[in-house]
Structure 1
Amino acid sequence: MSRWKIYTPDGVQDILFDECYVKREIEKRIRNTFRSYGYYEIETPTIEFFDVFSSEIEHFPQESMVKFFDQKGRILVLRPDITVPVARITATKNRDVQLPIKYSYIGNVFRFNEVGGGRQNEFTQAGVEMLGDSSSESDAEIIAMAINTLKAAGLKEFKIEIGQVEFFKGLAEEAGFSSEDIDAISKQIDKKDLVGVEEILNRYEISARLKQLILKLTGLFGLADVIQEFKNSSINERSLKAIENIEEVVSILSDYGLSEYVSIDLGMLKSLNYDTGITFRGFTNGVGFPILSGGRYDNLTSSFGKECPATGFSVRINMLMTAMENSGITFERPSVDSLICYEKTNRKRAIEIAEALRKQDMKIETFVLTENIDQGKKYASSKTIGGIIYIGENDKITVYDMINDTKEETSFNALLNIG
């Protein structure tokens, strides 16, 4: 036998019965939430050309992508994300569709060297994208959907942290930072590394006011108080517009009745090339990484030949499952209502009864006996099936209650409520 034949590669996993049931239940709840907002599902190819993800705007290093070649020697990838294919579709197949376009999706994505969530190289991503609307209303709707998606899935305690990258971009522009230092400072701010930020700032001759504003980004969190503190500071017009934008979004979320789930972090700077406005991440207890992320990415579709504002979010289903398990949130285990046991000579009647009961929305399993009824009882106990229907000779039917250890004789018509 080959050495690796019975193993799975690093970063992937088998999802077995109960866990798979929970995963599908969560996906069903999320899908229903997406539909309730008028976002309709699409499915993009698992395999894409490498060029789709190689834009300078996007933020997937090529070493993180699973790459291979087609029969013509062209580089292909297993999709590392679904937002980018949505942008491709908007600029091509849906180029002339009335805006805004509202997409939803649930599918697996593939990334090497993925940090967090057990370093999964394959995981399920569920999300929505709104293309063609640049308003604060659309930003707020996407965040409201993110919150209600987590609630619908069953998560109770979580927080959505909201940022606005234009605020930092305005400060960086005012300070005259080089493009290299803008990238370096933003990464240090996102990691909340005050010392690292200060080290770079000391290379520049900037006002104490501006320096203090930038340093505050590493540790100032809150809601109305944070907005007011920055609004009261002497800030440039670009940064002020960013503050006013986030203030309006927070106000709209208050109209949704969702303020309790929201906080502000203007030091959230994931990717300055990709993000163009509001950004946000979802956190919960017991998981050290975001379970969802989203924001505005107005420049992405231009790389496919169409200018179009865009915003959206995605949630990592596998990490959400871990968070819910850590929080003690449980799901009802799938079960079988009855086990129909029979010898081969009574197979036709057994199948007839099984199909009739399934049409009554019962979950029925069948079991061919090669010994006696004790064989069926043993199997039912192993699967915690509470009832057995034994089909004997001459249409003799015996119902066994495995929980109370009783049995009762019945007829075909009585069992199916006929007559």
Structure 2
Amino acid sequence: MGGVAERVGALVPQLVDDLKALTAIPSIAFPGFPQEEVVRAHDTVVGHLRDVGVTDISSIDLPDTSPVILARVPGPPGAPTVLLYAHYDVQPAGDESQWTHPPFEPVEIDGVVYGRGVADDKSNLMAHIGALRYYEGRPPVNLTIVFEGQEEWGSPLDTYPPQAPELFACDAMVIADTGNIRPGVPTFTTALRGDAELTVEVRTLPEPKHSGLYGGPAPDALLALLAALATLHDDAGRPAVDGLRADEWTGAQPMDEAAYREAVGAADGVPLLGSGTIADRLWAGPAITVVGIDAPQVDGAVLAVVPYARALVNIRVHPQQSAAEAQEAVARHLEAVRPFGIELTVARNDAGDGFSAATDGPAYAAASAAMATAWGAEPIRIGSGGAIPLVSGLHAAVPQAEILMFGAEDSLCNLHAPNERLVVDELRRTVIAMVEFFDAFGRPDAH
């Protein structure tokens, strides 16, 4: 690794400076935030591409979304094509009083940079830029670059690739919106759970009725809703809905119950839900979560039978099960419950499929060797309970392409939380891994 590591190391100070400058731009694509900041981040990224010699830069213009950067870099004749993905938008900062430093004034302390979006996903975007700088814009593979600006809010790009598969044609993709299980442990994400939502409503009376005068026989909408939601799990907290797929996780088991309990802050006396290993429950099975309820607040509540209640139910779906199929299974279950004989109205909301990566192709072999070189250890395989809807869209558009998910962030980086951070050495090693992968995959004998 000597020569590559030394040359990448020389690039790191400027990469970190550029990462800090990009992180200082509050590129939040959520409604209500300044769109010009997202455009400023877009223009900054385009500038980095131009500075390294990329000339074929265009955009994918989709309705109601931030600009999608589409760039192409030619490699040698006959070389394979690799698609590189990252996003330049970020989550809102949330309660800034919870941050030790202002979220959009990035600081570096002992090799760690703090700031909103510094890990998710601007570090990964800069890792792609770093690899281009290493080759001075002339890589040993053809590159298609897709940098979007509305991943955190949700974008039409998620479902667009099958409509224009020629734009995304490639032999392999590096989806850099993930990272290592912890710093120093090279990690592929090979499975993504799908995601679906339902809205459940109960209306029993035209208006609230005094609980003393009418309580008892009067049908209580909130009580009916709670009774229905309680049927979604068994006594151990396992999803109790027919038709939801669950398997054992066959990859790494990097977290036991004690470590998981510590990670989520669950006290010793509070039981964890479900059965099987933590990886089984997080990555190879379903989860049903009630994420919101509309009902009278306790403070200021009147003594009345509740006439109307509503809940939002989130479903995380096995990577290889259709999200729409799982959504329908839960919807049918709730429609059939009829607590106390009361009918529920169930609305099917968004549903996005998960993904399960093939790990037996030449790109995966080349990337595995590259990561082992960069980190000095064999990479492990994990899943993700979270969804990256675009991955499913890209897989549908280019089903023959191998999809590799790795990057510079890590599971301890506080993404979407206060004090988000990036370990600079993880960025350095990610660039080394990118370079080693391009070199190996670009060789004629790699295929």
* Bigger Cα Rg: 1
TM-score normalised to structure 2 length: 0.30
Whose helix proportion is higher, 1 or 2? 1
TM-score normalised to structure 1 length: 0.31
Greater RCO (CA < 8 Å, at least 6 residues apart): 2
